[in-house]
Structure 1
Amino acid sequence: MKDLYITCIKLQGNSLYYLASEDQRNDYVRDIMETFGYNVKDQTRRGLSPTGKAAGELDIFIHDAGFPVAIIAALNLKSLDKTYLDKHIDKIYDYDTAGNSFNVILSYVTVSNFEDFCNKYIDYIKGHIYPYLLTGIEENYFVDDNTYSDIKVMLTKHNRNGKKTLLVHICVRIGKSN
C-alpha cells in the first residue's frame, strides 16, 4: 500500500497525466510499481467479465510467483458517477476468484471541490450493496502516517466466506482546480 500511495503522489506531480486517458494513467502506475519490484500485469484476462460470458480484463493485477496479491480497478471520475463506480466495484469481485486479502479501487479524480467529492464518495460506499458482507469502514486510512489533502484513502472491510478482506478506495486528485 505504501508503494502504491507513493506511485499516486508521483502521478499527481506529473503534468503529462493531467489530461491522460485511464489506460495511460494505468500504464504509469504499472511501470512505477514494477520499478518497486512488484510483478504487475495489466489488461490481463481473469475471472468473469460483467456480462459473465467471457473472462474479464483487469486494469492492473499484482502477483507474487503466480499467486494473486491484489487487483486494482481504476477509473477516471469528473464527478461521482455512481453507475460507473458501481460497475468497477462489482467487477473487482468478479475478477477476484481466489479471495485476495485486499483489492483496490483507484479513482483518478478531476473536480474543482475535492473535499466535497470525497464526502459524497464516502457516503456512497457506505450504502453500496457489496457481494460480501460489509463489516466496517475506515474513512481516513493513512499510509505510513503520511497524509495529503489531495489523496484520500478509505477502506471497506468485508467478511468473505469467513475471512476478513479489504477493499481499498483511493481517490487521487489529478490536475489543478478549475
Structure 2
Amino acid sequence: MDISFALTGKGYVIVAADTVAARSIVKMKVDEDKIKVLSPHLLMAYSGEPGDTVQFAEYVERNIRLYQIRNTHALRPPSAASWIRRTLADSLRSRKPYAVNLLVGGYDTSTHNPHLYWIDYLGTMSEVPFAAHGYGAYFALSLLDRYHDPEASVEEGLATLKRCIDEVAKRLVVNPEKYKVKIVDKDGVREVEI
C-alpha cells in the first residue's frame, strides 16, 4: 500500500512518500518516515514488505556512511545508486532476498546536476526525470508525464507533486492522509510541507 513519488527540476529533486505503516488491512502507524537521508546530498524513498524495507534502508544508510568515513568524501548519486542496485540484485540471488522498491534522488555537487533513479525489487535500475512506486503510480505517472518540466522551479515542482497527491486522494480507494516531502539540492536535504 506504500505510495512514493519523485521528480527532478532545475537543480533539485523532490521525493514524497506516504506516512502510513500498514500490514494487510491494518494501519499500525500513521507517522512513518519512508524517506531515508543517506548523505548530505542523497536520499532514498523505500516501499515494500515492512521488515525488509526498514532493514535494507538502514543497511544502505550505514554502508554509505562507512564509505564516507573511509574515503573522506560521500558517494556521488550515480555511484550510490549503482551500489544500491547491486546490493539489491545480490540479495535476490541469496536465500533471503529483500522485497523493496526504491527511488534514489541526489544532487551531484561536482557536476551540479540532480539525479533520480528508479529501482525495483528485482534490481532493475533506470535514471529517470520522474518516478513513482506503489498504487499511486497508476494515477501519477500520466500526470507527471504531462506536467513535468525539467526546467521548473521548486515551487512549480511542488505544484506538480500536489497534483499527483490530489489525484491519488480523489481516485484511490484507500487514501493516505499525509505525505513526507523532502527536497535535495545544492544546499542539501530539507523537508517541506505540502
TM > 0.5 between the two?
no
Flag the structure with more relative contact order, 1 or 2, with Cα contacts below 8 A and sequence separation at least 6. Answer: 2
TM-score, normalised via structure 2 length = 0.30
TM-score, normalised via structure 1 length = 0.32
